[in-house]
Amino acid sequence: MLKNPRLRSLHARFPKRPWIIAHRGASGLVPENTLTAFVLAVEQGADLIELDLRITRDGHLVVLHDAALERTTNGRGFVHDHTLADLHQLDAGYTFTLDGGATFPFRRLGLRIPTFEEVVTTVPQHIGINAEIKSAPWDPADRQRGQVIAEKLVALVQRHLNLRERLLVSSFDAAVLDTVRRLDPELPLGLCTLPIAPLPEQLRSMVECGYDAFHPMDIGFDEHGAAVVNAAHLAGLLVNVWTVDSPERAIELAALGVDGIITDYPEATRLAIERALGAFVQRP
């Protein structure tokens, strides 16, 4: 892979590919985006964790996927309408079920919506962090919040020096990535995409914009995948595919040479790849 100075630290820390990137933590097994999910992901051998960043009414970075609280907690309304103190009253394990709603085994266990800083200090320093800035490009107000998240994230990187070495910032919103780039040109950036344009076209615009990683949705990762991985590597970009929960598909993607597999099941995915391909080491 072409030398990309912004990726040097991640390449050095995680030489073996593909990286197992735990999507919202080990979110197939325990409530997503909680400290429990991130700790379990680490125990299961994830190389990096992926998490989603949102902002509270009083300006704290918190880790939650949805703009609204209902799907994953016992709260109501939007994250950005609540203070951190409000959010700390909520049960982040409230709605999680593995049996279609017959039982809710994580209710009342004290799981909370974590702050980003709590995750950074909880997850061991040898684990990478893919922080996805939530910002809906079609919603100006949400986009404005995304910009604030970007600014606060960069400020936090200044306070946690070790974070810089293991952080990959991503988003579906190129504007917030551009803000991060302007404020801190050394941080590696990945653009997440939906399959609305052909893969090679997506990669071309990503290279033109100077991003460091391409995060395509697996559903759109089609017959162009192998060529796109090669082209991305020639241009110095990583290709990290989401969300891959089928071990068979993870093995196919690993064989294509993707750099990261973003999965809800880090252990099952890791074991499948190791069994199929051996404990291979693929270096750029």
Indicate which of Mg ion, ligand G3P, none lies near residue 215 (CB less than 5 to 8 Å, by partner kind). ligand G3P
What distance in Å separates the CA atoms of residue 32 and residue 25, rounded to the nearest whole number? 6
**Alpha-carbon separation of residue 119 from 33, 161, 275 (angstroms):** 9, 15, 31
Q: How many residues bind Mg ion (CB under 5 A)?
A: 2
Closest CA to 134 of 24, 53, 78: 53
Whether 82 is catalytic:
no
51 vs 273, beta carbon nearer ligand G3P: 51
Q: How many residues bind ligand G3P (CB under 6 A)?
A: 10
Write out the binding residues for Mg ion, residues 157-186 only, by CB under 5 A: none
Q: Are 142 and 67 in contact (CB under 8 A)?
A: yes
Q: How far apart are CA 107 and CA 72, in angstroms?
A: 11
Shortest Å distance, C-beta 173 to ligand G3P: 12
Which residues, numbered 90-129, are part of the site for ligand G3P (CB under 6 A)? none
Between 52 and 212, CB nearer to ligand G3P? 52
Per DSSP (E only), the strands in the chain are 19-23, 48-55, 61-63, 128-133, 167-171, 189-193, 213-216, 238-242, 260-263
Instruction: Rule CB under 6 A: say whether 54 interacts with ligand G3P.
Output: no
In 48-147, beta strands by DSSP E: 48-55, 61-63, 128-133
Closest among 171, 145, 10, 166 to 80, alpha carbons compared: 145
Q: How far is residue 284's CA from residue 280's CA, in Å, rounded to a whole number?
A: 13
Confirm or reject binding of residue 52 to Mg ion (CB under 5 A). Answer: yes
Residue 50 binds to ligand G3P (criterion: CB under 6 A): yes
- When binding is defined by CB under 6 A, the residue of 91, 242, 265, 273 that contacts ligand G3P is 242
Q: Are strands 61-63 and 48-55 parallel, antiparallel or unpaired?
A: antiparallel
Site residues for Mg ion, window 119-148 (CB under 5 A)? 132
- Among residues 60, 65, 82, 126, which one is catalytic? 65
* One of 17, 54, 82, 215 touching ligand G3P (CB under 6 A): 215
212 in contact with ligand G3P (CB under 6 A): no
Given 11, 23, 60, 126, which residue is catalytic? 23
- 215 included as an active-site residue: no
Which stretches of the chain bind ligand G3P, using CB under 6 A? 23, 50, 52, 65, 132, 170, 192, 215, 242, 262
Binding site for Mg ion (CB under 5 A): 52, 132
